[in-house]
């Protein structure tokens, strides 16, 4: 449970990196719901770079799609420093005056592939045990999420 300053908020934010096929590539990281999205990206990128080294994955020049909640200069630098191209829709609430100078790189066609991410999280919501949280122990709840993510990744291999 998080606290937003004037009221308690129940829930948690789960982040995971998903490819274009809907497979979950990274472990999930969980934080309380009262933290803003822009501060949550470095932990998941650190895990992705460790995964890249472990399996020999080449991510140089690939697009990294994020929604407008992650739109910040710091997040763009984190992604550029890992030799990927950030494709983040600009958040209109991020600034009061329009930005002068060169426009940020944004490809709408690549961004439209984000539906795979949303579809994967919709599949996660099909697991009734995760939809309404009955577990009071965080480790047990995360274990059920890992089982759900494993079943989502295995659906392609087990289909006939």
Which of the 8 DSSP states describes residue 98? P
Residue 114: which of 78, 70, 66 has the closest Cα? 66
Is 31 inside a domain boundary?
A: yes
pLDDT greater than 80 at residue 21: yes
Is 87 inside a domain boundary?
A: yes
Is 50 inside a domain boundary?
A: yes
User: Stretch 98-116: mean pLDDT, rounded?
Assistant: 81
Give me the domain span that covers residue 70.
2-114
Number of domains making up the chain: 1
Is 93 inside a domain boundary?
A: yes
Predicted local confidence at residue 77, as pLDDT: 92
Neighbouring residues of 41: CB distance < 8 A, sequence distance ≥ 6: 15, 66, 70, 75, 78
**Which tokens is 31 given?**
């934080």
**Which tokens is 51 given?**
């995964």
Is 129 inside a domain boundary?
A: no
Predicted local confidence at residue 15, as pLDDT: 79
């Amino acid at each position: 449970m998080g606290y937003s300053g004037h009221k308690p908020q129940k829930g948690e934010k789960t982040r995971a990196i998903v490819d274009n096929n809907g497979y979950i590539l990274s472990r999930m990281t969980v934080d309380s719901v009262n933290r803003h999205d822009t501060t949550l990206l470095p932990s998941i990128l650190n895990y992705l770079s460790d995964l890249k080294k472990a399996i020999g994955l080449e991510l140089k020049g690939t697009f990294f799609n994020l929604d407008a909640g992650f739109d910040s200069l710091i997040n763009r630098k984190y992604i550029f420093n890992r030799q990927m191209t950030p494709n983040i829709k600009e958040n209109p609430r991020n600034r009061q005056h329009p930005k002068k100078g060169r426009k940020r790189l944004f490809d709408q066609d690549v961004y439209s592939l984000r539906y795979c991410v949303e579809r994967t999280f919709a599949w996660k919501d099909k697991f009734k045990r995760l939809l309404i949280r009955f577990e009071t122990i965080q480790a047990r709840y995360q274990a059920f999420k890992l089982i759900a993510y494993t079943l989502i990744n295995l659906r392609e291999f087990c289909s006939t």
